[in-house]
């Protein structure tokens, strides 16, 4: 039985309110320890999960990225990327209606699948690794997946009970995908144990991100959490100059996506008709000379 994400986050958050920022740091340390165990077992055995060549300095000017004014991420009505509800007519429509194809639950599940595909599109493709100089390993991909799940779940909670229910469908789709990813990486024995460890990481990261953007949090808290959850191998070391530039750029990216999603209307969120901010990787040969 899957744990309801909203209840689990509430539980972790209540624990953290005693000392939010200290708790966030402790969770990050625990997360890195758990990653060490999980990643050792789930280290990819095929190129589907590990691609090298993303560890050099980025060929973009990170200092100039993610400063633009936030805007809605909803797709335009005429966008070819939009996914529309199937419009069946006649006898087919009648039978599908009898089969509850048009029920609120069925529509929510379809919408949640589209939302998850938007997340996967952002975290599985090269640009995000190239821009932020990340190596594509199981750990980094999973960390980015959790980060973008948090962005969506946080936005959905703003819609109250209805948004939380939609978020549960999204979480169940995510959970199934993670299980497939772990299995594909070669972990078949003790799969349930690894999934429980990843579940702890998921909730720990979500609470850490929530805590890092509280009004009382320090400006650098989000960068610290991002470093520990995504960039760092041990959760203890501090980033050097090159890494710090990437971490700070990702913190700006995250804050901007939080604000952009807040401006994205409910219909776009429930249908999945939105796109995260594009992360275009500009090679020197394609940059303008003027």
Label residue 103 by pLDDT band (50, 70, 90).
Answer: confident
- The answer on pLDDT for 16 being more than 60 is no
- Whether pTM > 0.85 for this model: the answer is no
Q: Is 74 helix (H, G, I), strand (E, B) or coil?
A: strand
The pLDDT, as a whole number, for residue 162 is 96
- The answer on pLDDT for 45 being more than 60 is no
Apex 278 CA angle, 277 and 283, nearest 5: 145
Q: Is 236 helix (H, G, I), strand (E, B) or coil?
A: coil
Q: How far is CA 56 from CA 50, 173, 226, in A?
A: 16, 34, 19
**To the nearest whole number, what is the mean pLDDT of the chain?**
81
- The answer on pLDDT for 4 being more than 60 is yes
Domain spans in the chain, listed from the N-terminal domain onward: 18-44+68-272
Taking a C-beta distance cutoff of 8 angstroms, is the pair 75, 234 a contact?
no
Q: Alpha-carbon distance 173 to 109, whole Å?
A: 9
- The answer on pLDDT for 83 being more than 60 is yes
Q: Alpha-carbon distance 277 to 259, whole Å?
A: 12
- The answer on pLDDT for 13 being more than 60 is no
Q: Please state the three-class secondary structure of 124-175 as a single string.
A: CCHHHHHHCCCCECHHHHHHHHHHHHHHHHHHHHCCCHHHHHHHHHHHHHHH
The pLDDT, as a whole number, for residue 34 is 54
Top pLDDT among 151 and 181 is at 151
Q: Give the pLDDT confidence of 114-163 residue by residue, as tens digits.
A: 999 999 999 999 999 999 999 999 999 999 999 999 999 999 999 999 99
The pLDDT, as a whole number, for residue 146 is 98
The pLDDT, as a whole number, for residue 277 is 95
Please name which of 152, 151, 124 lies closest in space to residue 140, comparing C-alpha atoms: 124
Under 8 Å CB-to-CB from 67, ≥6 apart: which residues?
252
Mean pLDDT of the 41-62 span: 49
Under 8 Å CB-to-CB from 132, ≥6 apart: which residues?
58, 246, 249, 250
Mean pLDDT of the 39-57 span: 44
Mean pLDDT of the 242-262 span: 95
Q: Alpha-carbon distance 88 to 174, whole Å?
A: 29
- The answer on pLDDT for 94 being more than 80 is no
Dihedral (CA of 62, 63, 68, 72) sign: positive
């Amino acid at each position: 039985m899957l744990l309801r994400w909203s209840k689990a986050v509430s539980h972790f958050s209540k624990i953290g309110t005693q000392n939010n920022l200290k708790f966030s740091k402790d969770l990050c340390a625990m997360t890195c320890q758990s990653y060490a165990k999980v990643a050792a077992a789930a280290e990819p055995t095929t190129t589907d999960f590990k691609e090298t060549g993303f560890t050099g300095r980025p060929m973009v000017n990170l200092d100039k990225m993610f400063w633009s004014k936030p805007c809605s991420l909803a797709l335009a009505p005429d966008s070819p990327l939009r996914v529309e509800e199937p419009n069946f007519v006649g006898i087919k429509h009648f039978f599908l209606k009898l089969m509850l194809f048009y029920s609120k639950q069925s529509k929510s599940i379809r919408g949640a699948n589209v939302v998850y595909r938007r997340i996967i599109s952002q975290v599985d493709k090269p640009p995000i690794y190239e821009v932020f100089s990340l190596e594509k390993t199981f750990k980094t991909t999973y960390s980015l997946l959790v980060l973008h799940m948090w962005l969506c779940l946080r936005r959905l909670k703003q819609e109250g009970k209805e948004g939380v229910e939609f978020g549960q469908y999204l979480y169940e789709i995510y959970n199934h995908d993670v299980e497939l990813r772990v299995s594909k990486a070669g972990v078949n024995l003790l799969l349930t144990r690894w999934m429980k460890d990843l579940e702890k990481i998921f909730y720990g990261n979500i609470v850490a991100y929530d805590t890092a953007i509280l009004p009382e949090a320090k400006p650098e808290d989000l960068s610290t959490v991002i470093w520990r959850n995504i960039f760092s191998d041990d959760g203890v070391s501090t980033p050097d100059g090159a890494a710090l530039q990437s971490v700070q750029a990702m913190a700006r990216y995250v804050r901007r996506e939080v604000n952009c999603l807040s401006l994205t209307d409910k219909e776009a969120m429930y249908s999945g008709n939105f796109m995260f901010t594009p992360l275009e990787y500009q090679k020197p040969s394609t940059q303008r000379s003027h």
